Amino acid sequence: MKTLIVYYSRSNTTKKVAEYLKSKLGADIEEVTTPVNYGGAIGYAKGIKDSVQEKVIEIGNLKYDPGDYDRVIIGTPVWTSKLANPILTYIKKNNSLKNVSLFIVGKSNGFEKVEEHFTKVSGVKPQKTTYILEKEINDNTFENKADALL
């Protein structure tokens, strides 16, 4: 099964899961980038504001067309119990998503609401979803949860 992993990672925690899945699946991987600076305290506050507003933002050029894949795995951090805005924008620009799984990374809560937000925005119910705490990524104990997507 030809798989594409798409993710956004402000602090590299979501990236770590995406790269782990890539190594397990031999999948192509697409990091969604943006010229919007969400780094540091000011960037974090901007991310909260953009998330609350569900703002569609500019994202970098994409290398892969998700329509060319049998399955797409999307990774997003939790932002105000919603998708991170770079991923929100990616989904809105790629309305051909069909067989999608999600991994959602967060500090403690909001996971279910992010999954609901994904379904509302994309019109697609994820085939599989896993919730991964940042602590599990930092402790390198996230693999069992990530393996649920294999």
Q: What is the pLDDT of residues 67-95, one digit of tens each?
A: 999 999 999 999 999 999 999 999 999 98
Query: Which band of pLDDT confidence, cut at 50, 70 and 90, is reported for residue 104?
Result: very high
- pLDDT (average), residues 36-44: 92
* Per-residue model confidence (pLDDT) at position 98: 86
* Per-residue model confidence (pLDDT) at position 95: 80
CB atoms within 10 A of CB 47: 22
- pLDDT (average), residues 45-73: 96
What letter does residue 26 receive in the DSSP assignment?
T
Please state, in angstroms and as integers, the Cα–Cα distance from residue 58 to each residue in 35, 85, 140, 149, following that order: 7, 10, 32, 29
* Per-residue model confidence (pLDDT) at position 128: 98
Question: At residue 12, does pLDDT exceed 90?
Answer: yes
Please report the domains of the chain, with CATH numbers, ordered by start residue.
3-147 (3.40.50.360)
- The rounded distance, in Å, linking the Cα atoms of 116 and 119 is 5
